[in-house]
Chain A
């Protein structure tokens, strides 16, 4: 490892612009003649739109246009799509209602847009929106799963009778039935996985520009995947063909899944920019983020785990209802199915698994992937089950886990996944050592003497990252391929540009990806630039989500580098009059091994571009492209242990320690990896203790601001104690697995297991607020 190569804790190249206020986010973009959009949104969870009167608004100062859902329909703009087709157990396709960008006839959640005002200034647009009169006929609403599936419930979409999108299953029902019939012990648990709001700190925004002369559109947007946005806006929404649409995702202030999707607002801004022939800016405020960014989680499950007399697991049966909200968002259908049920085996040998998932429409904001996407729900379920089982079977929870760990790899689970490698004993041992697990009973006794209830909770998670290969996901219903592309341009002076289809919105790609180049060529990272987020620069890419950027995007960079190096070696060998096989790359030079003959990279690059002295038949230039499609998912795994105290008088929880032992394979930049884990843990702990969406019975979002929805703040969280164990991923040349979601996947079960251990009552739902904990203690 060089000082800037793989494994080095390099400070981030991108930081300087952020710490000096020079970051460039979408709302920072200004254009000549720019106008501003403000959306008119439904105050009702379910209503007919009887009419929209904009006559008064049109007379107000600065108003350019008031555009409605009917005009979008008239212009034949397509409805929003769901990109993953799921088939119900009876063989029928999932049942989806149409989702127009602005509702022409019916609104189905509070905050759904019905019209947009375009004006000279933002304030003028807001003022005029107050004067637009929308005539609604209120309809009864179904605000949660229970209300939506009972008989006589209000129906959201005629296409989906009973508000059921699909009734899907995975696994072997008969084998599970057989396993339970032989069980010595059965553990059952009802669980709720609370609905969350992703709340990236930068609200969504769009700046759209239509160039009449070129018939060309440009869209600046807060996207994790600008090429996917361009594809969807072109192929499905019919706004512009791909070659006439440039999508730019500049600095993006966090995503966590919520900026994968192509939302109505961005689409309307683009459509409106042609309609009014002016650049149009829309910047969401936080209230709009709460109402319209795709929410996460929201499962209600019943789980049963069967054990033999030796406490070995025989089978797992799970029935889950998943809330999709009012419409099927882009990847929503895959989240509670192929990203959830496929991970229910956890780290354990479970010979038989059967999972049923019922997807349900409700009059709420659409739900889609949020950091972890299905895997946190699976991990929370299986890890609460293991803790519950240990208590019921009266065995140590760590020992019960160890007894059932998968220890040989590759391991084929009964639910599709083939784990390639791992060492679950190493992770749990590292975590137990870090927290002094053996010393816990003494600490608990001491806390008791001080009037505090102390608890310890484990969570041994496994997840699947870098969803792939494309052929396999295609066979499961995915509408896209999940490969990644990279292009390496070695310029004539030896500087290097790496164009990647991944997108960085906090992950530090501008540093990590440079380190891969530095490692291979021995050049300083200052000589390398990472280019991303612009469909006019990068040929294509699938973007960043599912902890895929390094395992898939990084591997594409390696593949392109291999081609660059092969050509450069030929040029160097020709210049040095040596055999190509004798050329080695060291410290930015191409050397003839065993001699002092060498040629520096800039000279090789210059030779490639002057083309005065290239091997016969070689094309000039030094630029290569690779498209990489992985052969399998990657499987990060680890063990988290939380130790905390509960004040029985108030129900308040205080952290004593939180340790994480993760196996992410090879670490390119351990500093950045630790930062990813910290952030993930905060979101997992936030889910466990603080965060939870509340709708009232009529479908009004009660938790619609930072005053009402508890975001984790600095004084809610502990400092974390991290460590790493390593098994290198055999599926990619970097040996990497992905680290972006682990914390959010593993943390919540550790926290709840610790609280329920402390209070001696297993009936506790997230978020475990002091009020809930107090009632769990005192009844």
Chain B
């Protein structure tokens, strides 16, 4: 057992976990942040994507101990209170989700994609970048639309700040 100290969604936490505990299990089991999902056991599906120090990470590929001292943002920490993040709003407005299971990881990946590419996103780039997130419901059509829509909204939001 080890004590892992990290910041999750802006809050400092200290958690005692087995050394083999993955970050995703710390979030789900110890912190009850069940918005981060587990969809596979080979780090392929991306349902568990969170941000670690601002970068998208599959939280099933990272030991909890490796996240010590990090700043972790999960889907629960993305909105500002009642105000949805532009990516969340775009997923809703473009019907970019059906069963909702892949959605948190999809949104966290998508935010990272927009951050990395800025305003230079096109459909082909979005499709290529989403390769690490599997959705079985939507056929990706509306997810791609949502990401492109959100990229525009995030640019506007950034300009306003």
Using a CB–CB cutoff of 8 Å, the interface residues on chain A facing chain B are: 11-12, 14-25, 27-28, 30, 123, 198-203, 251-254, 256, 285-287, 505-508, 671-672, 674-675, 678-683, 705-707, 711-715, 717, 719-720, 743
A18 & B142 in contact (Cβ 8 Å cutoff): no
If A20-B75, A28-B34, A715-B130 touch, whether A679 touches B138 (CB-CB below 8 Å) is: yes
**The 3 A-B residue pairs with the shortest CB-CB distance in the complex, in nearest-first order:** A21-B35, A253-B101, A18-B100
Interface string of B26-61 (1 = CB under 8 A from A): 001000111111111110110100000000000000
- Residues from 108 to 161 in B contacting A, C-beta threshold 8 Å: 123-124, 126-128, 130-131, 133-144
Q: Bound complex: CA of A487 vs CA of B138, how far in Å?
A: 30
With A11-B95, A18-B103, A286-B41 known to touch, is A714 a contact of B130 (CB < 8 Å)? Answer: yes
Query: What is the number of contacts between chain A and chain B, taking CB atoms within 8 Å?
Result: 183
Q: Decide yes or no: A285 and B99 within 8 Å by CB, A21-B33, A679-B136 being known contacts.
A: no
Asked if B14 is at the interface of the complex by the 8 Å CB criterion, the answer is no
| Cβ contacts A to B, 13 pairs, < 8 Å | A11-B95, A17-B100, A19-B88, A19-B104, A27-B38, A28-B28, A30-B32, A202-B39, A679-B136, A683-B139, A707-B42, A714-B133, A719-B144
The answer, among B47, B93, B100, for a CB contact under 8 Å with A14, is: B100
A715-B123 Cα distance, complex, nearest whole Å: 10
B98 to chain A, nearest CB (A): 4
**Residue from the set A199, A285, A706 with the largest chain B CB neighbour count within 10 Å:** A706
Determine if A12 and B92 form an interchain contact, defined as CB atoms under 8 angstroms apart. yes
Taking CB atoms, residues of chain A closer than 8 Å to B136 are 198-201, 254, 256, 679, 683, 711
Partner of A252, one of B33, B34, B75, B99: B99
**In contact, B41 and A715 (Cβ under 8 angstroms):** no
B99:A253 contact, CB within 8 angstroms = yes
Q: Are B107 and A714 in contact (CB under 8 A)?
A: no
Highest count of chain B CB atoms <10 Å: which of A22, A23, A25, A717 = A23
Given contacts A19-B91, A21-B76, contact A678 B39 (CB under 8 A): no
Q: Which of B33, B34, B39, B142 contacts A675 (CB 8 A)?
A: B142
Among A14, A17, A198, A202, point to the contact of B37 (Cβ < 8 A).
Answer: A202
Chain B residue contacts of A202, Cβ below 8 A: 37, 39, 99, 101
Instruction: Say whether A11 contacts B93, CB under 8 Å.
Output: yes
A24 to B141 Cα, complex, angstroms:
25
Instruction: Please tell me which one of the listed residues B32, B40, B141 contacts residue A720 in the complex, with CB atoms under 8 A apart.
Output: B141
Task: Determine whether the beta carbon of A506 is less than 8 Å from that of B137.
Answer: yes
Contact of B79 with A by CB under 8 A = yes
Complex Cα spacing A287 to B38, Å: 12
When distances are taken between beta carbons in the complex, the residues of chain B under 8 Å from A714 are 126-128, 130-131, 133, 135, 140, 143-144
CA distance A542 to B42 in the complex (A): 35
Known pairs A21-B74, A27-B28, A201-B135 / 17 extra A-B pairs, C-beta < 8 Å: A14-B100, A21-B34, A27-B38, A199-B136, A201-B47, A201-B102, A201-B136, A203-B38, A253-B37, A285-B41, A675-B141, A678-B140, A705-B41, A707-B42, A714-B131, A715-B124, A717-B139
Given contacts A19-B92, A706-B45, A720-B141, contact A715 B100 (CB under 8 A): no
B23 proximal to A (CB < 8 A): no
Report whether A678 and B142 are in contact in the complex, using a CB–CB cutoff of 8 Å: yes
Contact indicator A715/B134 (Cβ below 8 Å)? no
Which residues of chain B have C-beta atoms less than 8 A from A16's C-beta?
Answer: 92
Residues of A within 8 A of B139 (CB): 678-683, 712, 717, 720, 743
Please name all residues of chain A whose beta carbon is closer than 8 Å to the beta carbon of B131 when the two chains form the complex: 713-715
Distance in angstroms from A126 CB to nearest chain B CB is 11
Bound-complex Cα distance A204 to B35 (A): 17
B12 beta carbon closer than 8 Å to chain A: no
Q: How far is the CA of A680 from the CA of B78 in the complex (A)?
A: 30
Residue of A nearest to B104 (CB): A21
**How far apart are A162's CB and chain B's nearest CB, in angstroms?**
37
A706 near B134 with CB under 8 A, answer yes
Determine which of A11, A30, A123, A253 lies in contact with B92 in the assembled complex, contact meaning CB atoms within 8 Å. Answer: A11
- Bound Cα distance A28, B103 (Å): 16
B34 to chain A, nearest CB (A): 4
**Residue among B47, B134, B137 with the most chain A CB within 10 A?**
B137
- Least Cβ–Cβ distance between A748 and chain B, in angstroms: 14
The answer to whether B37 and A25 touch across the interface, beta carbons within 8 angstroms, is: yes
Closest residue of chain B to A14 (Cβ to Cβ) is: B100
Evaluate contact between A675 and B98: CB separation under 8 angstroms.
yes
Residue of B nearest to A682 (CB): B139
What separation, in Å, do the CA atoms of A446 and B74 have in the docked complex?
49
Known: A20-B84, A123-B18. A253 touches B130 (CB 8 A): no
Q: Which residue of B lies closest to A672 (CB)?
A: B95
